[in-house]
């Protein structure tokens, strides 16, 4: 029951933080959609490809469709639709009868006056995949997995309803990003680890890593001379009228955002492992515990840096294939703006991670070995509980007159 009550309190705190952000970002974004346009799902009944010009690089021209709306108030309505192909293979889709697609329709007097294709409808498959992820997470991690799902949805909400709208409204990207990431780290770590010593240590270690990442970004950013236009859809955003945005600092914010997740991962790995050591060895001293944390951190860092490299390389695998096929020189590759941006991301993020592990180990060692009972004089007497901060079962008693600390109870 105490654990359930604590979980409910922690969820309430997280919910209150997220609700406060949602209220702050209550004003909807301008230009989120065209007036009078609805998005519906439809089944392609027939296609006309006679006006399409095909080439090895893609297809250009209009594809005319006959589609039947299969959802909403207009379910069962048949309508002609237009699919514009622009020769962009990464964006264009050529439909065939039987495809389920997403349509943008304009309705006048209860009938469809215009319909344009958007994309293949993939939403149900995405939800199914997320359901598999959620079930696997909860099945393995149980209550911790449920907490992780809560933090996942909370993070998504903060980014979508608060962070991105404020970036679009012209807020300074770096201060906003740092504030949001500190809040997200707090929410995620508290949700998963609770108000515990290892949770506090993981949070402080994460924040230290983000601070170093931000400083390195500012220090080396000017030397790399990156404008920020290397990130996907930057040009699209600029064409849409976002002339007042600082794209360079938005790119720096993306670097910080990408490194923060790995920083949280390392900080939690180190602090949770040290907590387990403390639980199994309650008599361990701070020096020995910190040394164990350092050893754990070295192992984690050894693989995490490579993980970042592989993650970013995977996103640009086809570009690397082009370099190899054309036998591009190393000098040309390293000085290419797009490559330099990714080198910047990987190395800045990795250097920031190097600090997270030792700082977290030192903080965790100090918190787990410090005798906080000396600060709790005057509290009611408590017998035979589990220390909610260290997780160590024992007998502690504090009265108004004296303080009694008895060694942790032996495992039965």
**pLDDT (0 to 100) of residue 409:** 41
Which residue, among 200, 134, 120, 107, has the nearest Cα to 388 in the 3D structure?
200
**pLDDT (0 to 100) of residue 394:** 38
Which residue, among 17, 26, 345, has the nearest Cα to 166 in the 3D structure?
26
Helices (H) and strands (E) in the chain, counts: 12, 8
Strand partners, 406: 395
* Burial class, 319, CB count within 10 angstroms (exposed 0-12 / middle 13-18 / buried 19+): middle
pLDDT averaged over 10-residue windows placed end to end, the chain, 412 residues: 61 56 44 67 92 80 92 87 86 91 88 90 90 87 82 86 91 92 89 86 92 91 83 80 85 90 89 93 91 91 76 77 89 89 87 89 91 57 41 39 38 38
Rounded to a whole number of angstroms, the distance between the first and last alpha carbons of the chain is 22
**pLDDT (0 to 100) of residue 384:** 35
Separation CA 9–CA 194 (nearest Å): 10
* Burial class, 134, CB count within 10 angstroms (exposed 0-12 / middle 13-18 / buried 19+): middle
Separation CA 178–CA 170 (nearest Å): 16
Distances (CA, A) of 77 to 72, 113, 132, 264, 289: 10, 12, 34, 50, 69
Separation CA 73–CA 18 (nearest Å): 34
**pLDDT (0 to 100) of residue 177:** 93
For 34-167, where are the E strands, in sequence order? 37-48, 53-55, 58-69, 78-86, 100-108, 111-120
Q: What is the DSSP letter of 401?
A: S
């Amino acid at each position: 029951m105490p654990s359930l009550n604590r979980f409910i309190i922690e969820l309430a705190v997280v919910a209150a933080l997220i609700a406060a952000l949602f209220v702050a970002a209550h004003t909807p974004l301008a230009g989120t959609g065209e007036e009078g346009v609805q998005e519906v799902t439809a089944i392609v009944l027939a296609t006309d490809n006679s006006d399409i010009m095909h080439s090895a690089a893609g297809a250009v021209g209009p594809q005319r469709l006959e589609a039947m709306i299969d959802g909403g108030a207009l379910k069962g309505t048949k309508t002609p639709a237009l699919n514009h192909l622009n020769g962009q293979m990464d964006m264009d889709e050529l439909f065939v009868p039987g495809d389920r697609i997403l349509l943008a329709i304009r309705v006048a007097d209860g009938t469809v006056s215009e319909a344009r294709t958007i994309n293949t409808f993939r939403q149900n498959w995405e939800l199914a995949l997320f359901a598999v992820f959620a079930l696997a997470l909860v099945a393995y991690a149980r209550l911790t997995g449920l907490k992780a799902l809560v933090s996942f949805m909370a993070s998504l909400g903060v980014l979508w309803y608060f962070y991105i709208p404020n970036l679009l409204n012209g807020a300074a990207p770096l201060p906003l990003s740092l504030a949001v990431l500190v809040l997200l780290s707090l929410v995620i770590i508290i949700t998963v680890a609770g108000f515990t010593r290892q949770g506090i240590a993981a949070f402080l270690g994460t924040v230290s890593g983000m601070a170093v990442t931000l400083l390195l970004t500012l220090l080396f950013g000017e030397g790399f001379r990156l404008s920020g236009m290397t990130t996907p859809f930057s040009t699209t955003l600029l064409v849409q009228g976002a002339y007042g945005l600082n794209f360079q600092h938005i790119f720096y914010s993306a670097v910080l955002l990408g490194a923060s997740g790995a920083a949280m991962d390392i900080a939690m790995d180190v602090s949770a492992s040290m907590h387990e050591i403390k639980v199994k060895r309650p008599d361990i001293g701070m020096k020995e515990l910190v040394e164990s944390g350092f050893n754990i951190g070295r192992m984690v860092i050894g693989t995490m840096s490579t993980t970042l490299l592989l993650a970013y390389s995977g996103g640009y695998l086809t570009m690397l294939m082009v370099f190899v096929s054309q036998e591009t020189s190393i000098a040309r590759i390293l000085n290419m703006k797009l490559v330099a941006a990714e080198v910047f991301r990987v190395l800045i993020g990795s250097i920031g991670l190097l600090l997270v592990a030792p700082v977290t180990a030192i903080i965790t060692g100090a918190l787990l070995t410090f005798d906080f009972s000396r600060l709790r004089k005057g509290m009611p007497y408590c017998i035979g509980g589990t220390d909610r901060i260290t997780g160590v079962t024992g007998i502690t008693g504090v009265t108004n007159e004296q303080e009694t600390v008895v060694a942790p109870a032996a495992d039965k």
